[in-house]
Amino acid sequence: MTLGFFDPIAETLERLQLRELQLRRVQELLAEILPRNGFYAKKLGGHRVKTWDDFQELPFTTKSEIAEDQEENPPYGTILTYPLERYTRFHQTSGTTGKAPIRVLDTEESWEWWARCWGHVYRGAGVGPGDRVFFAFSFGPFIGFWAAYEGARTVGAMTLPGGGMQTEQRLKFMLDNNATVLCCTPTYALRLAELAEQAGVDLSGSAIRATIHAGEPGASVPGVRARIEQAFGARCHDHTGMTELGATGFTCQEQAGPHLIETEFVFEVIDPSTLKPVPRGAQGELVATNLGRASMPLIRYRTGDLVQLDETPCRCGRTFARLIGGILGRADDMVVVRGMNVFPSAIEGVLREFPEVSEFRIEVFSKRSMVELNVLLDPRPGSEDDLAMRVSNRLNDRLLLRVPCELVPPGSLPRFDLKAQRLVHRDD
Q: How far is CA 79 from CA 28, 104, 286, in A?
A: 17, 10, 21
Closer CB to Zn ion, 160 or 316, in the complex: 316
Q: What is the nearest approach in angstroms of Zn ion to the Cβ of residue 60?
A: 29
Closer CB to Zn ion, 7 or 254, in the complex: 254
| Helices of type H across 338-414 | 344-351, 387-399
Helix (H, G, I), strand (E, B) or coil at 204: helix
Q: Considering only CA atoms, which of 259, 289, 285 is closest in space to residue 274?
A: 285
Phi-psi region of 300 (alpha: psi -120 to 50; beta: other; left: phi over 0): left
Q: Residue 220 in contact with residue 252, Cβ under 8 Å?
A: no
Q: What is the nearest approach in angstroms of Zn ion to the Cβ of residue 259?
A: 6
Q: What is the nearest approach in angstroms of Zn ion to the Cβ of residue 70?
A: 37
Cα(189)–Cα(251) distance, integer angstroms: 17
Which segment (221-229, 253-261, 328-336, 397-405) binds Zn ion by CB under 5 A?
Answer: 253-261
Closer CB to Zn ion, 178 or 312, in the complex: 312
Q: Residue 215 in contact with residue 247, Cβ under 8 Å?
A: no
User: Bridge-partner residues for 249, per DSSP?
Assistant: 240, 260
Q: Considering only CA atoms, which of 110, 174, 100 is closest in space to residue 147?
A: 110
Which segment (39-47, 77-85, 132-140, 312-320) binds Zn ion by CB under 5 A?
Answer: 312-320
Cα(272)–Cα(69) distance, integer angstroms: 23
Q: Which of 192, 252, 351, 357 binds Zn ion (CB under 5 A)?
A: 252
189 binds Zn ion (CB under 5 A): no
Which segment (74-82, 301-309, 317-325, 420-428) binds Zn ion by CB under 5 A?
Answer: 317-325
Q: What is the nearest approach in angstroms of Zn ion to the Cβ of residue 345?
A: 21
Q: What is the nearest approach in angstroms of Zn ion to the Cβ of residue 9?
A: 16
Cα(262)–Cα(267) distance, integer angstroms: 7
Closer CB to Zn ion, 124 or 284, in the complex: 124
> Which H or E element spans position 285?
strand 283-290
Which segment (21-29, 246-254, 330-338, 345-353) binds Zn ion by CB under 5 A?
Answer: 246-254
Q: What is the nearest approach in angstroms of Zn ion to the Cβ of residue 246?
A: 20
Closer CB to Zn ion, 196 or 314, in the complex: 314
Closer CB to Zn ion, 237 or 318, in the complex: 318
Q: What is the nearest approach in angstroms of Zn ion to the Cβ of residue 420?
A: 28
Q: How far is CA 267 from CA 39, 284, 290, 376, in A?
A: 21, 12, 9, 37
Q: How far is CA 256 from CA 51, 124, 250, in A?
A: 31, 12, 10
Residues constituting the chain: 428
Cα(272)–Cα(313) distance, integer angstroms: 27
> Which H or E element spans position 53?
helix 52-55
CA dihedral 118, 124, 127, 128 (to 10 degrees): 80
Closer CB to Zn ion, 196 or 252, in the complex: 252
Q: Which of 7, 54, 65, 254 binds Zn ion (CB under 5 A)?
A: 254
Q: What is the nearest approach in angstroms of Zn ion to the Cβ of residue 77?
A: 37
314 binds Zn ion (CB under 5 A): yes
Q: What is the nearest approach in angstroms of Zn ion to the Cβ of residue 145?
A: 23
Rounded to 10°, the helix 222-232/186-198 angle is 40
Q: How many residues bind Zn ion (CB under 5 A)?
A: 5
Q: What is the nearest approach in angstroms of Zn ion to the Cβ of residue 314?
A: 3
Q: What is the nearest approach in angstroms of Zn ion to the Cβ of residue 125?
A: 11
Q: Which of 115, 143, 316, 403 binds Zn ion (CB under 5 A)?
A: 316
- Residues 6 or more apart whose Cβ sits within 8 Å of residue 427: 365
User: 216-254 burial string, b = 16+ CB within 10 Å, else e?
Assistant: bbbbbbebbbebbbebbebbbbbbbbbbbbbbbbbbbbe
Closer CB to Zn ion, 158 or 324, in the complex: 324
Closer CB to Zn ion, 310 or 363, in the complex: 310
Which segment (113-121, 244-252, 348-356, 383-391) binds Zn ion by CB under 5 A?
Answer: 244-252
Closer CB to Zn ion, 185 or 319, in the complex: 319
299 binds Zn ion (CB under 5 A): no
Closer CB to Zn ion, 231 or 316, in the complex: 316
Where do contacts with Zn ion occur on this chain (CB under 5 A)? Answer: 252, 254, 314, 316, 318
